[in-house]
Amino acid sequence: MTARSETIQIQVEQEFMEGTFLTPRTRVPGVLFVHGWGGSQQRDLARAKGIAGLGCICLTFDLRGHASAEARLCQVSREDNLRDLVAAYDRLRGHPAIDTDAIAVVGTSYGGYLATILTSLRPVKWLALRVPAIYRDAQWGTPKRQLDKADLAHYRSHPIPVADNRALRACAEFRGDVLLVESEHDEHVPHATLMSYRTAFRQAHSLSHRIIDSADHSLSDRVAQESYTNILVNWITEMVVGERLRLVRD
């Protein structure tokens, strides 16, 4: 953790010695996790604990219509869940120990899609997206389960112009650091979708694109899960350490 430096003088009899107080900075980065459609915060908890060990404050949560509220899954829309995400972000940002200029959002699949849109509504410094899904802008307020799956599969399998999609337009305006993680054998989010996202991040400060070999969409293989954990933790570490070094220089 970085330290705040204060030059002092220590009096000894009639003389003064030069000294320096080094005190830890009181505010730390925040990391918000957003799970995928039909998922829950449970799969994020282990990774959040590891990242909290870096000196970050992490928040995981269950979107409405998920986990204990699964009976409502057929009723929630993208608008509903985006509001959930904004509320969770505001709760994290309101934590008294958070450095409000150093907030990361980690989104998976549907959660990654929502996370990109969040960047157009709230300040985000670091954005990590694992297999981010994408949807047409139409039927925004329609319950998500009612969207045409065949149409979605076709939409995702072709390059999508930035101007035609709300999530991609948000990506085009994002100026922070980005991590894109792709599964080699993803049955829901094809390579074309990842490339649409990658192309959209034209103003990003940095962009890292990693592919997990032999992995499916849900990372059902333990080795694939460990690979993603290592990729994410190493990237967050790089971002956090880089920010602390910048603060020291400043």
Q: What is the pLDDT of residues 181-191, one digit of tens each?
A: 999 999 999 99
Q: What is the pLDDT of residue 23?
A: 62
Give the sign of the dihedral formed by CA 220, CA 224, CA 229, CA 231.
negative
Q: Quote the distance between the C-alpha of residue 221 and its chain's center.
A: 22
CATH number of the CATH domain containing 187? 3.40.50.1820
139 secondary structure, DSSP code: T
Q: Say whether pLDDT at 3 is over 70.
A: no
Is it the case that residue 132 has pLDDT exceeding 80? yes
Query: For residue 15, is it within any domain?
Result: no
Residue 81 lies in a domain: yes
Q: What is the pLDDT of residue 25?
A: 64
**Is a pLDDT exceeding 90 seen at residue 17?**
no
Residue 210 pLDDT greater than 60, yes or no: yes
Domain presence at residue 134: yes
Average pLDDT over residues 118-140: 98
How many C-beta atoms surround the C-beta of residue 19 within 10 A? 10
Residue 4 Ramachandran class (φ > 0 left, ψ -120 to 50 alpha, else beta): beta
The 8-class DSSP code of residue 73 comes to T
Are 45 and 24 in contact by the 8 Å Cβ rule? The answer is no
Mean pLDDT of 4-29: 76
**What pLDDT shows up at residue 31?**
96
For residue 211, is it within any domain? yes
Q: Spell out the SS3 assignment of 146-181.
A: HCCHHHHHHHHCCCCCHHHCHHHHHHHHCCCEEEEE
Strands (E), the chain: 3-12, 15-24, 28-34, 57-59, 98-108, 126-130, 177-183, 206-212
The answer to whether residue 1 sits within a structural domain is: no
Whether the full predicted model's pTM is greater than 0.85, yes or no, is yes
* Cα 104 from Cα 176, distance rounded (Å): 10
**Domains: count for the chain:** 1
- Residue 170's pLDDT is 98
Q: Tell me what percent of the residues of the chain surpass a pLDDT of 90.
A: 78
pLDDT of residue 33: 95
pLDDT of residue 247: 65
Average pLDDT over residues 96-100: 91
Classify residue 180: in a domain, yes or no: yes
146-173 tens-digit pLDDT = 999 999 999 999 999 999 999 999 999 9
**DSSP H helix total and E strand total for the chain:** 7, 8
pLDDT-based confidence at residue 6 (cuts at 50, 70, 90): confident
Domain contains 17: no
180-206 mean pLDDT? 98
Structural domain containing residue 149 = 27-249
Residue 20 domain-assigned (yes or no): no
| % of the chain beyond a pLDDT of 70 | 94
Give the pLDDT confidence score for residue 15 in this predicted structure. 80
Write down the pLDDT at residue 90. Answer: 95
Q: Please return the burial class of 207, using the count of CB atoms within 10 Å of its CB with bins 0-12, 13-18 and 19+.
A: middle
